[in-house]
Chains A and B, each alone.
Chain A
């Protein structure tokens, strides 16, 4: 695989680091909207063995957006996979219970870009327009999940949250609609994650 995508990925990683670093700068008037208010670390979910990055909350944390850089090493995935994912989520309910903050329902969607020449976002020249109707390098997915957490003041965390997500990638959804008898529960794969709210 060409070295180009590695350098692009490093650039993205650096940008993520810079935006997360902005967190540590205190501000008397509350941080501007573009400063992330949480960070996420995730296991699996079709975007890497591990992925992580900053996130932004809106409307009393009922709407969230996150950017995740994901990696799956050849040792576990048979190939070096590097992804950049934009995730949007909606948490319509929040329950407080004995110090726990529970979010019983999360719905969302994501777009995941995979770095590398083996995947295309624009059809390569060897194909006519519309030869493939999907993009192997840009993957949409729908999410269904839930999470719960509690404050950890010792670590300076307003909330340390664990969550799970059922991830339905485009190919799983389409096959589920076309071939429910074959796909069955294969509509979803599972992601587990931790969210650090500052």
Chain B
């Protein structure tokens, strides 16, 4: 009989799936692990970090980005959401598996595609809460969910209260960086919250606000805050951010 042979051949292919949106197996709580690694890195002074855009159906290009980042001296990497196209468990596994190849800690924002089906639960299981704030080398980094349309514009996505609290000035904090998938002002961002968010970021002196979603690089300044939209990885480029004292430089890296 040929089929037991085929069974053997298939032994390494992930093998069983009970539902596309199953919450099962896989590596969990990756953000907690990244934070733990980051805490052990007590570097002070100048540092760099990388910011990568939508991965969706561009996983091979994302793998190439990971290989490129491996050669650079970055402290950590932030992915800006849309790790997946369908929000399925298998895609989460592929995307997280790619990020796991990074030699440094990594964080991922939740994107609108990542919410589909039980995707938001798979995200929380794989990475952790969708709102995350952490400090590194005198800077604060805040990741939040801005996929307002996915929830039918409930009025509290993004969660400005949590953001306001996370962006509270503290002695010793030089820079504030924020990260969300949908940029404010986009039709998928709650229109009633765009202005308040931009005003809050201006008031708190956010250094750079990072976004993705539109699959096209963009950068502009609103109320004194710099906004960057990272290209999708389909276009084989990402952002490299250099922080040195008061100075923050963002460059596009093509690979």
Interface of A with B (CB < 8 Å)? Answer: 43-49, 72, 76-79, 81, 83, 100, 102, 104, 114, 118-119, 124, 126-127, 132, 134, 136, 139, 145-148, 163-164, 166-167, 169-172, 174-175, 178-183, 185-190
Add 13 more A-B contacts to A48-B19, A147-B3, A189-B14 (CB < 8 A): A47-B19, A48-B18, A72-B18, A78-B22, A126-B150, A136-B21, A166-B6, A175-B59, A179-B57, A179-B58, A179-B94, A181-B63, A183-B94
As a 0/1 sequence over residues 224 to 248 of chain B, the CB contacts with chain A under 8 angstroms (1 = contact) are 0000000000000000000000000
Residue of B7, B10, B59, B86 with most partner-chain A CB within 10 A: B86
Given A134-B86, A175-B94, A188 and B13 touching (CB < 8 A)? Answer: yes
21 sampled A-B residue pairs with Cβ under 8 A: A46-B20, A72-B19, A72-B22, A76-B24, A78-B22, A81-B19, A83-B19, A114-B19, A114-B21, A118-B117, A119-B21, A134-B86, A146-B6, A148-B3, A164-B3, A164-B6, A171-B88, A175-B85, A175-B94, A185-B14, A190-B10
Partner of B18, one of A81, A102, A104: A81
Contact at B20–A79, with CB atoms within 8 Å? no
Q: How far is the CB of B195 from chain A (nearest CB, A)?
A: 21
Which 10 pairs between the two chains have the least Cβ-Cβ distance?
Answer: A78-B23, A185-B13, A179-B59, A189-B17, A182-B59, A44-B16, A72-B18, A81-B19, A77-B22, A179-B60
Contact at B117–A119, with CB atoms within 8 Å? yes
Contact at A188–B20, with CB atoms within 8 Å? no
A183 cross-chain contacts in B, Cβ below 8 A: 59, 94
Given A171-B86, A183-B59, A189 and B22 touching (CB < 8 A)? Answer: no
B54 CB-CB contact with A under 8 Å: no
Q: How far is the CB of B216 from chain A (nearest CB, A)?
A: 18
B87 CB-CB contact with A under 8 Å: yes
A181 cross-chain contacts in B, Cβ below 8 A: 59-60, 63
Chain B: CB-nearest residue to A106: B3
Chain A: CB-nearest residue to B4: A164
B160 CB-CB contact with A under 8 Å: no
Chain B: CB-nearest residue to A137: B117
Contact at A79–B59, with CB atoms within 8 Å? no
Given A126-B153, A178-B59, A171 and B22 touching (CB < 8 A)? Answer: no
A48 cross-chain contacts in B, Cβ below 8 A: 18-19
Instruction: Give A79 to B20 CA distance when docked, in angstroms.
Output: 11
A47 cross-chain contacts in B, Cβ below 8 A: 19
The total number of A-B Cβ pairs within 8 Å is 138
Contact at B23–A148, with CB atoms within 8 Å? no
Chain A: CB-nearest residue to B14: A186
As a 0/1 sequence over residues 121 to 154 of chain B, the CB contacts with chain A under 8 angstroms (1 = contact) are 1000100000000000000000000000110110
Chain A: CB-nearest residue to B57: A178
B117 cross-chain contacts in A, Cβ below 8 A: 118-119, 136
Q: How far is the CB of B181 from chain A (nearest CB, A)?
A: 15
Instruction: Give A171 to B86 CA distance when docked, in angstroms.
Output: 7
Contact at B86–A77, with CB atoms within 8 Å? no
B94 cross-chain contacts in A, Cβ below 8 A: 175, 179, 182-183, 186
Contact at A126–B59, with CB atoms within 8 Å? no
Contact at B12–A164, with CB atoms within 8 Å? no
Q: How far is the CB of B69 from chain A (nearest CB, A)?
A: 16
As a 0/1 sequence over residues 54 to 86 of chain B, the CB contacts with chain A under 8 angstroms (1 = contact) are 000111101100000000000000000000011
B23 cross-chain contacts in A, Cβ below 8 A: 77-79
Given A77-B24, A188-B10, A182 and B18 touching (CB < 8 A)? Answer: no
Chain B: CB-nearest residue to A102: B1
Q: How far is the CB of B168 from chain A (nearest CB, A)?
A: 33
B171 cross-chain contacts in A, Cβ below 8 A: none
Within 8 A of A (CB), among B1-55: 1-3, 6-7, 10, 12-24
Partner of A189, one of B12, B15, B87, B121: B15
B19 cross-chain contacts in A, Cβ below 8 A: 46-48, 72, 77, 79, 81, 83, 114
Chain B: CB-nearest residue to A45: B17
B102 cross-chain contacts in A, Cβ below 8 A: none
B166 CB-CB contact with A under 8 Å: no
Contact at B24–A78, with CB atoms within 8 Å? yes
